[in-house]
Structure 1
Amino acid sequence: MAEPVARTVLGGARMTDRIIVPFEGPGAGTGELTWGQRKVWTLMQQAGTSMSMGGAVPVTDGRTVQDLASELRFFLSRYASMRARIRAGADGGLVQEVAGAGQAELGIVDVADDGDPGLVAQELAEQWEATPFDHAEEWPIRMAAVRSRGAVTHVVVMISHVATDGSGIAVMLGELSERDPVTGEPKNPASAMGPLELAALQRTPSGQRQNEFSLRHWERLLRAAGPRRFGPRVDRGEPRYRLGFFESRALHLASKVVAARVGSSTSSVLLAGYAVAVARLTGITPALIQVVVSNRFRPGLADVSHPLSVNGLFMVDVADASFDEVVDRTTRASALCSKYAYYDPEQLEELRARVDRERGGEGVELSCLFNDRRLGIGLESPGPAAPPREELEAALAESTLRWGRPFPQYLDKLMIQVGSAPDTVELEIQVDTHHVSADEVNALMRDLEALVVEAAYDPTLPTAVRPMPPEPAGSPE
């Protein structure tokens, strides 16, 4: 028998109608959260939001309300994390209850004939993004159809981060597109490992050994790193937490040239450039960066929908080397970073606290981050030599840095995320300007771009970073 409809935030009186969507699927039960879910839950609590993903998407292919209801049913039936509600367990810890069957709601918003359906859809998406999920009572997915003159013009979807991540959404959309066009059944009838199954696997001796290996890697780098990444806080007024976007076709062209020459990926080239540029900005080496790693390369996890992306720890020496050498070092260090980015987040925090105590209470700052959100970025196929300098110089003149809407709160000091725009490098910058000013962000982006562009023509280009002087006697090791 189906469960009652879980409470859904659908905008109250703004909804003109709603459809009840029944569903059922495998993986039901009650148990612990996975490592990825626990890490996301902690970040959500710190940020005070559900860190939701989604938005308003135009519907241009004639899909109807019933088609969208079918899609919502597919998501809830196929992916156990979409049917999970999270509550406090008997011991005070968190448990998730995955329903085997239930009902959800597809909201419907009818827009007046003289209204703007795109604006209405965007306003609903922003409202949902700003409204935290009630994870104990609400399914972690919200979905609504926006209609104008009787036709669906937009679909609005918002999913809590504790239920998925960017790669998980790509899995869901990919499998949705591969459904049988007549029956609506998935191409692969067997669904991927659910969160309860993975959480149980992480508790096994094999899972615990992987956790121990990862923690040893983190401890080695934490003990080798200096404590600082950025200087002391300087009050630069408001807005403090800012979002920027840097777009560079020149960086796209040059990174492909360097990647092909070195036999690496453009992701490694951009990470190497970021590491050098940050070291130049701060004067601190080696570079220590948290890199977001998707663990879907691990056996059995390729098609998992629930969150698997966590931070790995990456360290690279950028001093007294050519940029090609730094890219090679980055490639090797990135492999270790990914290998050991699979761990119990609570045990990692315990490790960090212990290392901080043993270093005399001076914690290692880990507030510099990098996330390449592009999918399938591998080795670049060999290409022609670098384009004429005139072409890259013209592309350099096109590069732009613009600032978006500020954040009410930001947990780190600097993060860049590589977007998936075609034929350009699109970097999203999240920054605490009381530690890294807007002018310093601009200088950092221009330095990163110039470095990679020059390296496209000069395989021996030095990084112009000098080694750090030895720490004064008596400083914590």
Structure 2
Amino acid sequence: MERVVLALCPDVQACVAVPGAGAHAPWELLITLRADADPHAAWDETITAALPYALASRVGALHVVTDEWLVRGPAWSIDRPATRRRLREFQAGAWLPGLGPGSRPEPVPTERMRVPFSGPGAGRAPLTWGQRDIWATMIRQRNWLPQGGRRPLAPGTRPEDMAAELAYLHGRYPTMRTRLVFDLARGRAGQWLVSDGETFLDLYDTAPGQDPDTLAARVEAAYRRRPYDLRTEWPIRMAVIRADGACTHLVVLMHHLALDAGGAAVMMREVADRVQNEPAGMQPLEQAAWQASEAGRRHNDRTLRHFAQALRPPTEAPGAELPPAELPSLAAPHRPRHWSGRLTSPDLAASVAAISARTGVDDAAVLTALVSIAFARLADQPRVVVRPRVGNRFRPALADVVCFVAQSGLLVLDLAGTTFDEALARARRASMAAMKNAYFDPDALEAVLARSGPGIAMFFNDRRSASPGVSYTTEAAPDPREPQKVRGCSVFAWLHRGPEPTEPMSVTLDTADDGALSLALHFDTHIIAPQVVEELAWGVERAAAEAERDGTAATGL
């Protein structure tokens, strides 16, 4: 099959065919393209059309590899058994590629300082509920969700100072001394905490006349792009940039499995103060033990019963027999497949503040209601299923622990026959219930959702309360090739189009400059049309203006 693809498709530089598990299982094709070929073209259709039917019928999936993280070198030099093994490991989540354009060629460190570390505790355990939640997201989105960035260093900082900080991070926080262990045959992962080890601090020196910030940006881009083997690498990549012998910048990147935004805020505070007392909270090995205990199983069973009840519409409610909201999809999916856009709106921020002041409903619940109203209006269905990201830090045992405890919970909102104020009240009650029930076995919830068939579950992440200094991978500049659409003081712009998978639909809220609200939407064009997503963004602003003007007015659902 590989030789036939190379012979029939001159734009394909290399091809690796990976057979399925059974005798009649479909094959996967991995292809790299020549430099002048368009990676976003319909290569699956082109190649299957070129192949004889007997071969084309055996192709189950085709992946265009745009970097050398999987298929390495020209066709004649590829180690095919190693490539097939790496594909299976990648699909299992044992290692994952990064994000961003990277830096070509990658900067080469002048020196690597060996940094030994040690800390209390060791052992193996299953992944915790929070770790499994974010790891599943990393696998779905096919990257390690880089966290961190770069910052200037105070004058007089020495490499030894930053090596001591790196040793402090590894020694103090168990998640920084944890790697994954895999049973690839069964598709299971666990965690392995060690009591001591060593890592490296990379030192980069600027060339004469080179701006150190430019070099720091290149190192950050290389760190973000470089794949992560979660079995062999520690969760922290750290580098120091020097100019004329003086340390000028620090670059720190961590994979998201190690910590969430709440954990990052605790870590930055404690690192700044060099806190020496025992770390607070229930650490991951303790969490895993409790979750497997009888008390943990009872807690999970109660939560699953709540989810099942929430997904079952009351028979007496208007429109109860209607399915959850679905948005109209495109007849011809776009290429690249996955898009993101962003509405930056001072008017939305002002309306939300006014609604919250008038009703006493907190602004997070107000925004949940407004996004749900706009979503339901487009779908012409009153029932919306939302997957809100809940930090779980209000739980005393998890308040100050540096690890990943946030989870995507479940919120079902039935807006049939409501006024805006009634919708706000329902959103407040549903939000409180979602927060209370956001600590659970994520695989069990997926099974509940699969049985109930809730349609599109919209992921919802309100990051406005995240501490400054935590960098997120979803930040992006508007695509300069796309015209921005301006209405009043508000601007909608497309951010990114690419093959990197997203959730079918997710909404992320941030605070923009001058107090405006930033509403970012990430979506799969095979499920939702871009014009529908743009209409959804403007629809949130429109619903906010209507709710501010008259809370007794009907939502029209």
Normalising by structure 1, we get a TM-score of 0.83
Q: 2:170–2:177: 8 Å Cα contact kept in structure 1? A: yes
What pairs up with 1:45-444 in 2 under 5 angstroms? 45-59=139-153, 63-88=157-182, 92=186, 93-177=188-272, 179=273, 184-186=274-276, 188-224=277-313, 226=323, 229-353=326-450, 355-356=451-452, 363-375=453-465, 397-421=488-512, 423-444=515-536
1:342-397 deviation digits (Å, cap 9, x = unpaired): 111222233334x25xxxxxx322441211012279xxxxxxxxxxxxxxxxx962
- CA displacement at 1:94 relative to structure 2: 2.2
* 1:74 Cα deviation from its structure 2 partner: 2.3
Distance between the aligned counterparts of 1:436 and 1:345, measured in 2? 25
Report Cα offsets for 1:296-352 as digits up to 9, x if no partner.
111210012211111111111223222122111101001111111211122223333
* Distance in structure 2 (CA, Å) of the matches to 1:456 and 1:47: 37
- Bigger drift between 143-152 and 10-19 goes to 10-19
Other-structure match for 1:35: 129
- The separation in 1 between residues aligned to 2:433 and 2:364, in whole angstroms, is 15
Deviates more, 1:282-291 or 1:20-29: 20-29
Q: Equivalents in 2 of 1:155, 1:407: separation in Å? A: 30
- Checking the alignment, whether the CA contact within 8 Å between 1:37 and 1:162 is kept in structure 2 is yes
Alignment of structure 1 residues 430-469 onto 2, 5 Å:
430-465=522-557
Residues 385 and 454, structure 2, Cα contact 8 Å, conserved in 1 = no
CA displacement at 1:91 relative to structure 2: 9.2
- State which of 85, 99, 108 in structure 2 corresponds to 1:14: 108
Distance 2:536 2:135 in 1: 32
Q: Distance in 2 between matches of 1:176 and 1:207?
A: 32
1:448 counterpart letter in structure 2: V
- Kept in 2, the 8 Å contact 1:290–1:312? The answer is yes
Counterpart CA distance in 1 for 2:106 and 2:147 is: 21
Partner Cα distance (2:444, 2:419) in 1: 38
CA contact (8 A) 1:56 1:122 kept: yes
Work out the CA distance in 2 between the residues paired with 1:235 and 1:166.
38
For 1:285 and 1:195, locate their aligned partners in 2 and report how far apart those are by CA, in whole Å: 40
Secondary structure, counterpart of 2:537 in structure 1: helix
Aligned to 1:382: none
Q: Give the whole-Å Cα distance in 1 for the aligned partners of 2:459 and 2:212.
A: 37
On the 8 A contact 1:243/1:407 being kept in 2, the answer is: no
Structure 1 residues 250 and 64, CA, compared in 2 at 3 Å: closer, same or farther? Answer: farther
> CA separation of 1:311/1:332 partners in 2, compared to 1, >3 Å: closer, same or farther?
same
Q: Percent identity?
A: 34
Whether the aligned pair in 2 keeps the contact of 1:78 and 1:191 (CA below 8 Å) is no
1:47-66: CA deviations, max 9, x gaps? 32212212233446664433
CA drift at 1:69:
2.1
Choose 11-20 or 449-458, whichever is displaced more.
11-20
CA–CA distance in structure 1, aligned partners of residues 386 and 155 of structure 2: 43
1:238-264, Cα deviation, whole Å (9 max, x unpaired): 232112222111111211111122112
Tell me the amino acid that sits aligned with residue 169 of structure 1.
Answer: A
The CA distance in 1 between the partners of 2:431 and 2:529, in whole Å, is 28
Q: Is the 8 A contact 1:195 1:306 kept in 2?
A: yes
Q: 1: distance between equivalents of 2:547 and 2:347?
A: 12
Partner-residue secondary structure (3-state), 2:396 = coil
Residues matched between the structures, number: 427
The separation in 1 between residues aligned to 2:158 and 2:370, in whole angstroms, is: 47
CA distance in 1, matches of 2:538, 2:343: 9
In 1, are the aligned partners of 2:339 and 2:495 still within 8 Å (CA)?
Answer: yes
Query: Judging changes above 3 Å, is the alpha-carbon distance between structure 1 residues 295 and 407 closer, same or farther for their aligned structure 2 residues?
Result: farther
Which residue does the alignment assign to 2:27? none
Structure 1's 410 and 13: CA in aligned 2 closer, same or farther, altered over 3 A? closer
AA matched with 2:149 = G
Describe the shift of the 1:399–1:149 C-alpha distance in structure 2 as closer, same or farther (beyond 3 A).
farther
Change (3 A) 1:192 1:63: farther
Structure 2: which 5+ residue stretches go unaligned?
1-97, 314-321, 468-485
CA distance in 2, matches of 1:425, 1:61: 36
Amino acid at match of 2:543: L
